[in-house]
Amino acid sequence: MLQMICDETGMGFAAVARVTDATWTACAVRDTVDFGLQPGGQLDLHTTLCFESRAARTAIVIDQFSQDATYCGHHTPAIYGLESYISVPIILPGGEYFGNLCAIDARPAKVSEPRIVRMFEVFATLIGMQLDSEKRQWSTEALLSNERETATLREQFIAVLGHDLRNPLAAVGATAELLSRRVQDPEIANIGKRLKTTASRMARLIDDVMDFARGRLGSGITVSLQPVDDLGQHLRAVVDELCEANPSREVLCHLAIAAPVRCDLARMQQLLSNLLGNAISHGAPDAPIVIEGSIDAGELVLSVANGGDLIAPETLSRVFEPYWRPASSAPGGGLGLGLYICKQIVSAHAGALEVQSTVEFGTRFSVRIPVGS
């Protein structure tokens, strides 16, 4: 751009300058006359006409100082030995004054020609637009960086908090166990049982938070893969436990896992527990929950389906997001991490977890995991 200015005007020096109310700084320079100014170099603002151009927010164009009625006696041409001069303000789209696009020479030049002035004005506008674009990009990147740092700190805090809560919660659980054994005092024993239930729920919430933090902080949910010969029995134990805790719900369980599966047994139990717990929480109370498990084409196929309100198509893609809960969720129904953790467990087993919600089949979560992964 500066090269084009010099070629079109015949002037030997052109620059983009940052001009404030106190400083004049060269940002880009084209110098073929050894004026001696490099990018980053500064001039005394009051020795330049850019000072006056900035104050008036208008261009200053002079073909020949020695014959100009207004500027023939000005100190700027005397200081720098100039005859021709043009300076056009660079103003950002939002109205902020950035500086000037200018050119100078010790020889006269026809810079007042309309095409030359128009060229400077167009270039100044383009520079302003580019600067504004870069400024907005820098601002966006800074905001994103701050958001990432805040998110990391938040998740680190969650992880530390979850870890530090384990010890006092263990003490609460132990106290609840002792109270529940006070068979000679039924009222105290009942209090102990309720406290045990509450402590167990708190422990599950802390486990969810810890798993979430590990997943978000980069280490991911860890799995220890070992061949499990009787996975169906272990999964059935999870179903029985939740059925016992929810005796009013009908659960139909069909597990026919006839081959060993290389997996993390505890994580697989956690996976089914979360999926079944989700079905109990959000499924219709009068509709059965159907659990199916089998081996198909070298994959473990596990599904949990429930009746009730369908998940809207526009929200299906969000069900595995952390902290997401449907609008119909009752208060106190959890943190909204269960399905996110399910997704992480399945991914750690190199598998896939999908959800469908249709009138024909209800809401069905389907897991496929390679048997020998």
Per DSSP, the three-state class of 335 is coil
This model's pTM is above 0.75: no
CB atoms within 10 A of CB 210: 19
Distance CA 342, CA 331 (A): 22
What class is the 2-112 domain?
alpha beta
Distance CA 208, CA 206 (A): 5
Distance CA 9, CA 11 (A): 5
Residue 95 tokens, joined: 């109205």
Find residue 31's DSSP bridge partners.
13
Distance set, CA 92 to CA 29, 51, 74, 125 (Å) = 20, 18, 29, 8
Distance CA 143, CA 312 (A): 33
Task: pLDDT tens for the chain, 373 residues: list them.
Answer: 999 999 999 999 999 999 999 999 999 999 999 998 999 999 999 999 998 999 999 999 999 999 999 999 999 999 999 999 999 999 999 899 999 999 999 999 999 999 999 999 999 999 999 998 888 888 777 778 777 776 666 666 666 666 667 677 778 888 888 898 888 898 998 898 888 878 877 777 777 777 776 666 555 677 889 999 999 999 999 999 889 888 899 999 999 998 999 999 988 998 998 899 899 988 999 999 999 999 998 999 999 999 988 988 888 888 888 767 666 555 555 556 788 889 989 999 999 999 999 988 899 999 999 998 5
| Radius of gyration of the chain measured on its C-alpha atoms | 37
Distance CA 272, CA 304 (A): 8
Where in the chain are the domains?
A: 2-112, 146-216, 226-370
226-370 topology per CATH: Heat Shock Protein 90 (3.30.565)
Distance CA 221, CA 223 (A): 7
CATH of 146-216, one of 1.10.287, 2.60.120, 2.30.30, 1.20.1250: 1.10.287
